[in-house]
Chain A
């Protein structure tokens, strides 16, 4: 306590309030509350069910080696506004609204990039949820074998998540206590929750022409086909003619580059076994406990920056892959309101304050969008630690400040990527020196331990486009009493002097391309 707090505490210590509970009031209130609770229970059996139909944009994984590539969505879901429908159409949608459980398969074409390899594949994923707080997601297809069948189970009540992969029988258990998201309506940061608001994007269809295409065959049975149009999008619903329950829903756009999105095998209010949402990994799996790599305050920042990134993606999806020139463009385009944008741009503990993020229109011609910074935290004075950045491929990372500085430089791509790896290694060495009384690691093998494996260190030393290849970055133990700004700690190794110079990283974390070979040899001797 400060002196002033002690002074006040002493002052109020013997003050007596009239604050003794009246048990008559307490008991009467209890009866009223139980009555309300009863009424709510009856209502809940037909309660509105919220269902995530749009793919969750969880392109979030951080990897030190940058070996895992992130999915680039071509078919961006349009954030639909209410359209309305004919009675049959509305009834079909209404049945979704009333479901307590929901499951469906979602299918659409997606592009991907993995180093130099890129292509498209048909993404198929199964969604299911059980109110109030359980969700399950299965990736049925993937361009990477390891992720085929990957299943994620989220329990928002317990704030825990289990993810497992049948291909290699591995599983991770995550603590979600610092898992945050943004409320699209208010721009506020909140803990993640079962996302039921997305149901509205399917259900709120603007009043428009609804065509009844009569009975058609779908997977061997007779169903009724209805269609609704909004701008360039056509929504088709195949409905069970007896129950009016939707069996399949398709969104299709006139733009040929935009993949249709199909929701099929729709099941409403069916029994979903509890074990589908169990947080116990399957038998025989190797389980690893994953702690959040992000401190809580950075997790909140991360939620904001990822949301901003997603909105930029939505804008690009609607504008022929052109990102906004400035963030105000996403307001003008109607993606979000100005008020929400301002809230998200502000610091988590100061929602009415000034922006703490900087937007940078990404270079969409860059080969590797995963290194193209689009949004980053800004400071009056840069912190010694890490900052959050969002990249043009949609993923976000917590990276050392020097890495961000390198990413923002207009260097040739190879040198830039090399220097990014060097700054990562520098940051690891910096952590090491803090734990070892200012002593640098004798060799990079000294860094191997709980947090980082030998494999991670080797990947960081390898060429940017050959993560499994030979080492091209060498470590040089700096003299601790030397000027850190001129003491080289990492440098590029080569067979022949490169025409565009050699990249080095100094002990103060700053990187430079040395064009003069003599100077380079002097620095690294």
Chain B
């Protein structure tokens, strides 16, 4: 996690400091949303929600600069989960994402197939497992950081990660089998 020495406190009252803080975290949060939602439009929407919430609550943020990143991730996690629940779009999202990834990554077929497999697996997990998988493997966060974001102990996160991987493995093995047997779900 980056340290923003004094920047958080300054950002409450100084526009330039706020802009600097925002720029430091925008890419990270957007990428996290994109990795969770598999859709850039949805990711942009949720990213907007996250930073709006940050602005509304920055005065009441209580923590060190290191904890600020965790706090943002927490807001983003809740926002993504709410988005998924609210829109109830998991299946539509999956289909849209598959179509888009087929357009964007046409030159890398292996990556596309893996992405489809990944989405199919991840989006059917419960939100907490999705969060842990994404933070661990796509945001490359350490267990302690993930635990802080989720408000759990590292031990709990580790065991939940193991369970998530077991489920994911089972789903993705089944998915691979279905594809190799002669067609994707969308055929």
Q: Which residues of A contact B (CB under 8 A)?
A: 2, 4-5, 7-9, 11-12, 14-19, 21-22, 25-26, 29-30, 32-34, 36-37, 40-41, 44, 132-133, 156-159, 177, 191-194, 297, 349-350
Q: Is A34 in contact with B15, judged by CB distance below 8 angstroms? A: yes
In the bound complex, CA of A8 to CA of B138 (Å): 11
Contact of A18 among B40, B165, B169 (CB under 8 A): B40
Residues of B128-187 contacting chain A, CB below 8 A:
136-138, 151-153, 156, 161-162, 165-166, 168-169
In the bound complex, CA of A349 to CA of B160 (Å): 13
6 sampled A-B residue pairs with Cβ under 8 A: A16-B105, A18-B40, A19-B35, A36-B55, A297-B153, A349-B153
Tell me the count of chain B residues lying within 8 A, CB to CB, of chain A: 52
Contacts of A177 in B (CB 8 A): 64
B22 contacts chain A at the CB level, 8 A cutoff: yes
Q: Is A157 in contact with B9, judged by CB distance below 8 angstroms? A: yes
Q: Is B30 in contact with A19, judged by CB distance below 8 angstroms? A: yes
Q: Is B101 in contact with A18, judged by CB distance below 8 angstroms? A: yes
Contacts of A2 in B (CB 8 A): 162
Q: Is A21 in contact with B137, judged by CB distance below 8 angstroms? A: no
Contacts of A191 in B (CB 8 A): 62-63
Q: Please, which residue of chain A has its CB at the minimum distance from the CB of B31? A: A19
Q: Is A5 in contact with B30, judged by CB distance below 8 angstroms? A: no
In the bound complex, CA of A41 to CA of B12 (Å): 9
* Apart from the given pairs A5-B165, A25-B48, A192-B62, 12 other A-B contacts in the complex at a CB distance below 8 Å: A5-B161, A8-B137, A16-B105, A16-B108, A17-B31, A18-B101, A21-B30, A21-B31, A25-B47, A33-B52, A36-B52, A158-B64
B110 contacts chain A at the CB level, 8 A cutoff: yes
Contacts of A41 in B (CB 8 A): 13
Q: Please, which residue of chain A has its CB at the minimum distance from the CB of B26? A: A26
Q: Is B15 in contact with A14, judged by CB distance below 8 angstroms? A: no
Q: Given A4-B169, A9-B137, do A33 and B118 touch, yes or no (CB 8 Å)? A: no
Distance from A335 Cβ to chain B, minimum over Cβ atoms (Å): 25
Contacts of A18 in B (CB 8 A): 34, 40, 100-101, 104-105
Contacts of A33 in B (CB 8 A): 18, 22, 51-52, 55
In the bound complex, CA of A51 to CA of B168 (Å): 50
Contacts of B2 in A (CB 8 A): none
Residues of B89-121 contacting chain A, CB below 8 A:
100-101, 104-105, 108, 110-111, 114-115, 118
Contacts of A44 in B (CB 8 A): 59
Contacts of B55 in A (CB 8 A): 33, 36-37, 40
Contacts of B13 in A (CB 8 A): 41
Q: Is A21 in contact with B26, judged by CB distance below 8 angstroms? A: yes
Distance from B68 Cβ to chain A, minimum over Cβ atoms (Å): 11
In the bound complex, CA of A8 to CA of B164 (Å): 11
Q: Please, which residue of chain B has its CB at the minimum distance from the CB of A23? A: B26
Q: Is A11 in contact with B114, judged by CB distance below 8 angstroms? A: yes
Contacts of B9 in A (CB 8 A): 157
B60 contacts chain A at the CB level, 8 A cutoff: yes
Q: Is B118 in contact with A21, judged by CB distance below 8 angstroms? A: no
B19 contacts chain A at the CB level, 8 A cutoff: yes
Contacts of B136 in A (CB 8 A): 5
In the bound complex, CA of A522 to CA of B101 (Å): 83
Q: Is B63 in contact with A16, judged by CB distance below 8 angstroms? A: no
In the bound complex, CA of A115 to CA of B144 (Å): 44
Contact of A4 among B59, B60, B62, B166 (CB under 8 A): B166
Q: Is B56 in contact with A349, judged by CB distance below 8 angstroms? A: no
Distance from A460 Cβ to chain B, minimum over Cβ atoms (Å): 33
In the bound complex, CA of A25 to CA of B48 (Å): 9
Q: Is A132 in contact with B59, judged by CB distance below 8 angstroms? A: yes
Contacts of A157 in B (CB 8 A): 9, 62
Q: Is B60 in contact with A193, judged by CB distance below 8 angstroms? A: yes
In the bound complex, CA of A525 to CA of B151 (Å): 53
Contacts of B138 in A (CB 8 A): 12, 17
Q: Is B111 in contact with A15, judged by CB distance below 8 angstroms? A: yes
Q: Is B40 in contact with A156, judged by CB distance below 8 angstroms? A: no
Contacts of B114 in A (CB 8 A): 11-12, 14-15
Distance from B47 Cβ to chain A, minimum over Cβ atoms (Å): 7
Q: Given A29-B47, A29-B48, A37-B55, do A15 and B31 touch, yes or no (CB 8 Å)? A: no
Distance from A363 Cβ to chain B, minimum over Cβ atoms (Å): 36
Distance from A92 Cβ to chain B, minimum over Cβ atoms (Å): 26
The 8 A-B pairs at the shortest CB distance, nearest first, are namely A19-B34, A193-B62, A349-B153, A19-B31, A349-B152, A4-B165, A156-B62, A16-B111
In the bound complex, CA of A132 to CA of B58 (Å): 10
Contacts of B59 in A (CB 8 A): 40, 44, 132
Distance from A171 Cβ to chain B, minimum over Cβ atoms (Å): 23
Distance from B141 Cβ to chain A, minimum over Cβ atoms (Å): 13
Q: Please, which residue of chain A has its CB at the minimum distance from the CB of B33? A: A19
B3 contacts chain A at the CB level, 8 A cutoff: no
Contacts of A17 in B (CB 8 A): 31, 34-35, 38, 115, 138
Mask of B5-20 contacts with A, CB within 8 angstroms, 1/0:
0000100110100110
Contacts of A297 in B (CB 8 A): 153
Q: Given A37-B15, A133-B62, A159-B63, do A349 and B151 touch, yes or no (CB 8 Å)? A: yes
Contacts of A156 in B (CB 8 A): 62
Residues of B33-82 contacting chain A, CB below 8 A:
34-35, 38, 40, 43-44, 47-48, 51-52, 55-56, 59-60, 62-64
Q: Is A19 in contact with B40, judged by CB distance below 8 angstroms? A: yes
